[in-house]
Structure 1
Amino acid sequence: MSLIKDAPPFWQSKTLEQMTRQEWESLCDGCAKCCLHKFIDDEETDDESELMPTTYIKEGEQMNYSNIACHLLNDKTCQCSQYSKRTTLVPDCVQLTQDNIDSVFFMPPSCTYRRLKEGRGIPSWHPLLHKGKKSAMHKAGMSVRGKIVKDSDVDLDYFEDYIVLWPLDDID
């Protein structure tokens, strides 16, 4: 008697472009690193353009992550408190989709979307591998839980004081 092998999970059998909306949404690991403010270090920035949003990074520029998070982020659950209205309430908020993933340069190396796009697979701490629970992600230190300040609580003129390296961590 031969055993029928289980089909591989959708993230191993489909490309990002082939996934349904539900499959796509489930790939979000919920780390909330995308909710962190990022700053580009360049020579051309002046006082007026310093905190302006951008949709690209030029050659020679460096992006820096901060531990300053969007005021809509629930820092315990690592979820947006106004998810369905987030792009209206925060016009700079980017909704990651199958159509724009190639142009979203600011996703951290641990982001599951980025990892799959780069052929690195889903991380061992991902909630899909833990019955939908985020505890393995938090325990591995891959979320923003316990590491952030809200943008409504800080003076962004002093953003340099909040630049951090931990969002660049990727453990597997």
Structure 2
Amino acid sequence: MSRAPKAAAAPRPQASLKAQTPFWRGKTLEELSAAEWESLCDGCGRCCLLKLEDEDTGEIHHTDIGCTLLDAGTCRCRDYEQRQRRVADCVRLTPETVRALTWLPPTCGYRLVRDGRDLPWWHPLVSGTRRTVHEAGISVSGRVSGHEEEFTTDELPDRIVAWPAEDPEG
């Protein structure tokens, strides 16, 4: 008994370019789902450092002082869901605020997407692990001098540092 030859398998349709493109390259900030939006945060903690504004020039100065809710070990908020109730001046990032804020760190995923740039190798969405943000020296881990309630207003200018506004890669 002879068998009929098998028909050649139909070629697989090529996956669409859109499906191959990571969401942060293919969507605007407004188009991101809630989960995609949250995943853009690399967990560095830089935005959770106290900032001072020069009243005369409007210039923003970063400090090495953490928000009262910043866990300096994990670089995460200790009460993310209730942060705005507990910290009156906590800024909720939205596409509108991301476009308006001038003090977002140059390494911030929201800022990078806003500016049409790609995420760096150490971003958890690229590397696949949250460890790389710390390994690359991007996070505030080991750099926080204390929480805001531990300092007087007069001590704040002495805590101004440049590194939160710098991009170590460049």
Give the TM-score band, short-chain normalised.
0.7 to 0.9
- Contact in 2 for aligned 1:142/1:169 (Cα 8 Å): no
TM-score, normalised relative to structure 2 = 0.84
Helix, strand or coil at the partner of 2:99: helix
Deviations 1:83-105 (A, max 9, x none): 00000000100110123322222
Q: Counterpart in 1 of 2:115?
A: 118
Unaligned runs of 5+ in 1: 44-59
- Contact in 1 for aligned 2:62/2:162 (Cα 8 Å): yes
- Bigger CA radius of gyration: 2
Residue 169 in structure 1 maps to residue 166 in structure 2: yes
Residue 145 in structure 1 maps to residue 141 in structure 2: yes
Percent of aligned positions with the same letter in both sequences? 39
**Residue 27 of structure 1: which of 35, 40, 56 is its match?**
40
Unaligned runs of 5+ in 2: 1-10
Counterpart code for 2:150:
D
Q: Counterpart in 2 of 1:16?
A: 29
Helix, strand or coil at the partner of 2:142: coil
Q: Counterpart in 1 of 2:7?
A: none
**TM-fit CA distance, 1:2:** 6.9
Q: Counterpart in 1 of 2:3?
A: none
Counterpart code for 2:93:
L
In 2, the alpha carbon distance for the partners of 1:108 and 1:34 equals 7
TM-score, normalised relative to structure 1 = 0.83
Structure 1 stretches of at least 4 aligned residues deviating more than 6 Å after TM superposition: none
Helix, strand or coil at the partner of 1:37: strand
In 2, the alpha carbon distance for the partners of 1:90 and 1:157 equals 21
Counterpart code for 2:75:
C
Helix, strand or coil at the partner of 1:99: helix
Q: Counterpart in 2 of 1:156?
A: 153
Counterpart code for 2:91:
V
Distance 1:8 1:42, change over 3 A: same
RMSD over equivalenced CA pairs, Å: 1.7
**TM-fit CA distance, 1:71:** 1.4
Counterpart code for 2:41:
C
- Contact in 2 for aligned 1:31/1:142 (Cα 8 Å): yes
- Contact in 2 for aligned 1:65/1:164 (Cα 8 Å): yes
Counterpart code for 1:161:
D
Matches within 5 A, 1:97-136: 97-131=94-128, 133-136=129-132
